[in-house]
Amino acid sequence: MTQPSEVKSSEPIFNVPPVVVATVAVLVLIHAVRTLALSEAADDRLVLALAFIPARYSTDPLVSGLFPGGFGADLWTFFSYAVLHADLMHIGLNLAWLIPFGTALARRFGAWRYVAFMLVTAAAGAFAHLLGNPGSQAPMIGASAAISGAMAAAMRFMFQRNGPLDSWRHRNAPMPEAYRVPAVPLLTTLRDPRFLLFLAVWMGLNALFGFGTLSFGEAGQQIAWQAHIGGFVAGLLFFAAFDPAPPQAQADAEPSA
């Protein structure tokens, strides 16, 4: 007879939530349509309409008027740029980060909070890119800023005692309760050596790409590192506004049953 502990240990550790599967499907489908169904001219028009281009916000009407979409595009491109990718390597790298960190975030937030959070961090990344590249006519595309936000948000609870990483370390399948552990305050996270190590590696990679030491893709596209930082900072700061679990201080104050 199978023991309960054996059933628990045989549960899948990595089961991607439907909303993350849907995110992956949308990104892959859009890239497939662009690659396989659109002509080069049509794809260029699509990119200009959906990509985030800082020059749209130029005070010179001759410059800002070069791009299609008008006032509507001034708004929607803060989000729509995230669904476009340059090539297979670009989308592949983003999906490799999205699946684990998006899974952790969706398990904690639920589908609608996850979607709203990803949109907010995408917009924050676009805003940071605008501040760092005023007047640039180069289109920015890719979901990296939103994924950076998901990474930052996951750092707020992944290291918690009885959290997801604790469950994996003890070779138990992470249960729903592991994704509901109260998050420590932001200042506590910023002092955690594990978070600081993750941040150092993440910042180092962005610096290497940002300063041109490393490049990726067939044409050696440059990384929009300001957008990554904007999304990451937004993920840290806005996590508490989306988190359905009570913060640690509140949870500690609640009387036990």
Give the three-state DSSP class for 213: coil
Among all chains, which residue has been given the structure tokens 């989000």? 79
pLDDT tens for residues 150-175? 999 999 988 777 666 655 555 555 56
* pLDDT recorded at residue 15: 85
- Residue 107, CB half-sphere, CA atoms under 13 Å: how many? 24
User: What residue type is assigned to position 93 of the chain?
Assistant: L
- Residue 216 has phi, psi (to 5 degrees) of -145, 165
Question: How many whole angstroms separate alpha carbon 26 and alpha carbon 83?
Answer: 8
Closest CA to 138 of 53, 71, 66: 53
Among all chains, which residue has been given the structure tokens 């490049």? 215
Strand partners for 216: 221
Q: Are 150 and 118 in contact (CB under 8 A)?
A: yes
For domain 16-244, the CATH superfamily is Rhomboid-like (1.20.1540.10)
User: What residue type is assigned to position 84 of the chain?
Assistant: L
Measured CA distances, 89 to 152, 166, 222 (Å): 23, 32, 13
Question: How many whole angstroms separate alpha carbon 87 and alpha carbon 93?
Answer: 10
pLDDT per residue, tens digit, the chain (257 aa), is 444 444 444 444 458 999 999 999 999 999 999 999 999 999 999 999 999 999 999 888 777 678 888 899 999 999 999 999 999 999 999 999 999 999 999 999 999 999 999 999 999 999 999 999 998 999 999 999 999 999 999 999 887 776 666 555 555 555 667 778 888 889 999 999 999 999 999 888 777 765 543 334 444 456 788 999 999 999 999 999 999 977 665 544 444 44
Q: Residue 222, Cβ neighbours under 10 Å: how many? A: 15
Single pTM value for the model: 0.83
Tokens at 19, concatenated? 């909303």
- Residue 52 has phi, psi (to 5 degrees) of -90, 120
Q: Are 164 and 179 in contact (CB under 8 A)?
A: yes
**Backbone angle region of 124, left / alpha / beta, with phi > 0 → left and psi within -120 to 50 → alpha:** alpha
